[in-house]
């Protein structure tokens, strides 16, 4: 029969056997007598298993506690878009006010901190958060410091950075400014354009007073590059400030309209002017035309291609000069023909100002004087002179009014033999007029360039 000590040992052994059957690896904790070994004496693999099991159990129990309690947590969202409250800008505009400056700088992104239960905090996204500024207290132009407000569809907003913004509000005014134009590029060679016609010469702008006071004018840029046909189209307007810089269209509250431009573009070329002096041969025999010329030799004409191609020259009525009796310079206004009605004359030339200048001078004629005697001067009485010839033919040229009355006796032809001893010489012919002033306009040409002279001593007499 078992004693009490034996029964207790047996029961204890049965208990630990049951535990070891439920948790096999627990067998290692106990000796065959149910005694527990120190943990550091257990095998490494078993120690790792104990560690993992402890972590799993701890995590399970901690999650259970959190699910039951669900404490709040906070999270900060960076780069949340800031805007004005819905309808705030429209209300401000209705009060003829506007926020002055770059809205992207004024309404820069903010950081918002949101508090929410632990189970909800991970669900919050940036699109759940709205950050706004209220403009209801703005009633006049000036500088304002306004609070930034934020809401979240999940949780509660507990912090905003920055918590306020500073903005400037300006009056909205209207101003009418002139519309001008400028060109970009150039037409192809051989083409011309007239001044553009604009349907409107001014436009009205609406915006912040500060901006509008800096406006100089609106301008459209007409690109001429490769343009060969007339223009009839609309061009967008740019607004220039007083320094000539293009202003950003976003600063204006109204839409800047386009401007309609009409401009003729035509080919052009220089067409020669042809004139006719009809009765030049009827001038008196003492006069002749010595020169003529136009103040414009041609006209630069622009016209439709088929019209321009048909123009070969510009003609005029004949000019009559038979009634002129004195030498001088005369101007005649030409009446031009052959200019199409729809052609454009370029260069600022008025066809009625085309003038022909005719220069009338003395008719130049020649007169031949035959056998004009030669006067030999400077002869030495102690020498014998033998001349190749003693008379020469002379051609007198000059104004007919002088030449026609010129006589041989009016011309003295000389050869100077002074100072020359015995020998052979070719001496030049010289001349002078009886009246040097009267005959100063005449030109003299000799048939011979000079005369050959033989000079010898006289032969001794027996």
Q: How far, in Å, CA of 288 to CA of 291, rounded?
A: 9
pLDDT at residue 66, as a whole number: 60
Only one residue has tokens 């002055």, namely: 100
Cα separations (Å) of 413 from 27, 370, 381, 437? 166, 12, 22, 17
| Domains along the chain with CATH numbers | 4-69 (no CATH), 73-162 (2.170.120), 173-263 (2.170.120.40), 268-362 (2.170.120.40), 365-456 (2.170.120.30)
**Residue 380 CA: distances (Å) to CA of 391, 412, 415:** 21, 21, 14
Quote the pLDDT of residue 283: 87
CB 162 within 8 A of CB 92: no
pLDDT of residue 236: 95
| Under 8 Å between Cβ of 339 and 277 | no
Give CA 382 to chain center in angstroms. Answer: 95
In angstroms, rounded to a whole number, what is the distance separating the alpha carbons of residues 362 and 20?
Answer: 153
Is-cis flag, bond preceding 188, omega within 30?
no
With a CB cutoff of 8 Å and minimum separation 6, the contacts of 70 are 117, 118, 119
- Give the per-residue pLDDT at 25: 46
| Environment class of 48 (CB within 10 Å of its CB; exposed 0-12, middle 13-18, buried 19+) | exposed
Tens digit of each residue's pLDDT, the chain (462 residues) = 455 566 656 665 665 565 455 444 444 444 444 556 666 666 777 777 877 888 887 777 666 666 665 677 888 999 899 999 988 888 888 899 999 988 888 999 999 999 988 778 888 888 899 999 999 889 999 999 999 999 999 988 999 999 999 999 999 999 999 999 999 999 999 999 999 999 899 999 999 999 999 999 999 999 999 999 999 999 999 999 999 999 999 889 899 889 999 999 999 999 999 999 988 888 888 899 999 999 999 999 999 999 999 999 999 999 999 888 899 999 999 999 999 988 999 998 999 999 999 999 999 999 999 999 999 999 999 999 999 999 999 999 999 999 999 999 999 999 999 999 999 999 999 999 999 999 999 999 999 989 999 999 988 665
Output Rg (C-alpha) for the chain, integer angstroms.
60
Confidence at residue 28, expressed as pLDDT on a 0 to 100 scale:
46
Burial 62-99 (b: 16+ CB within 10 A, else e): eeeeeeeeeeeeeeebeebebebeeebbeebeeeebbb
The pLDDT, as a whole number, for residue 189 is 95
Q: Report residue 206 as tokens.
A: 């609406």
At residue 67, the pLDDT reads 61
Tell me the β-bridge partners of 217.
240
Q: Which pLDDT score, from 0 to 100, does residue 102 have?
A: 87
3-state secondary structure of 443: strand
Task: Give pTM, 2 decimals.
Answer: 0.61
Helix (H) or strand (E) holding 251: none
Nearest Cα residue to 27 out of 19, 38, 9: 19
d(CA 387, CA 453): 5
């Amino acid at each position: 029969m078992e004693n009490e000590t034996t029964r207790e040992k047996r029961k204890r052994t049965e208990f630990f056997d049951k535990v070891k059957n439920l948790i096999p690896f627990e067998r290692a904790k106990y000796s065959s007598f149910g005694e527990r070994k120190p943990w550091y004496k257990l095998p490494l693999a078993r120690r790792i298993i104990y560690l993992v099991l402890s972590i799993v159990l701890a995590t399970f129990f901690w999650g259970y506690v959190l699910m039951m309690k669900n404490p709040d947590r906070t999270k900060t969202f960076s780069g949340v878009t800031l805007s004005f409250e819905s309808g705030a800008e429209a209300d401000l505009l209705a009060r003829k006010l506007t926020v002055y400056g770059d809205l992207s700088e004024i309404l820069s992104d903010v950081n918002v901190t949101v508090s929410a239960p632990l189970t909800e905090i991970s669900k919050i996204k940036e699109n759940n958060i709205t950050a706004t500024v209220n403009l209801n207290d703005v009633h006049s132009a000036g500088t304002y410091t306004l609070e930034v407000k934020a809401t979240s569809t999940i949780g509660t907003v507990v912090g905003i950075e920055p918590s306020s913004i500073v903005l400037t509000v300006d009056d909205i005014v209207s101003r009418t400014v002139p519309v001008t134009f400028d060109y970009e590029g150039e037409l192809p060679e051989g083409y011309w354009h007239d001044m553009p016609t604009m349907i409107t010469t001014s436009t009205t702008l609406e915006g912040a007073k500060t901006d509008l006071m800096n406006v100089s004018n609106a301008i459209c840029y007409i690109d001429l590059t490769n343009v060969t046909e007339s223009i009839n189209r609309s061009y967008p307007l740019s607004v220039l400030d007083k320094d000539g810089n293009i202003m950003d269209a976003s600063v204006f509250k109204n839409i800047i309209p386009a401007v309609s431009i009409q401009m003729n573009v035509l080919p052009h070329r220089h067409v020669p002017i042809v004139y006719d002096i009809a009765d030049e041969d009827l001038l008196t025999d003492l006069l002749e035309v010595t020169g003529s010329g136009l103040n414009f030799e041609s006209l630069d004409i622009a016209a439709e291609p088929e019209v321009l191609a048909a123009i070969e020259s510009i003609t005029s009525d004949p000019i009559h000069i038979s009634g002129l009796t004195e030498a001088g310079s005369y101007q005649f206004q030409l009446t031009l023909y052959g200019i199409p009605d729809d052609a454009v004359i370029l260069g600022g030339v008025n066809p009625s100002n085309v003038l022909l200048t005719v220069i009338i001078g003395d008719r130049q004629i020649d007169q031949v004087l035959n056998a004009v005697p030669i006067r030999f001067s400077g002869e030495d009485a102690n020498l014998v002179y033998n001349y190749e010839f003693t008379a020469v033919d002379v051609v007198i040229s000059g104004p007919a009014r002088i030449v026609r009355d010129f006589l041989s006796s009016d011309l003295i032809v000389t050869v100077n033999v002074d100072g020359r001893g015995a020998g052979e010489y070719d001496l030049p012919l010289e001349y002078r007029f009886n009246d040097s002033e009267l005959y100063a306009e005449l030109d003299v040409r000799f048939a011979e360039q000079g005369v050959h002279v033989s000079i010898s001593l006289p032969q001794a007499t027996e």
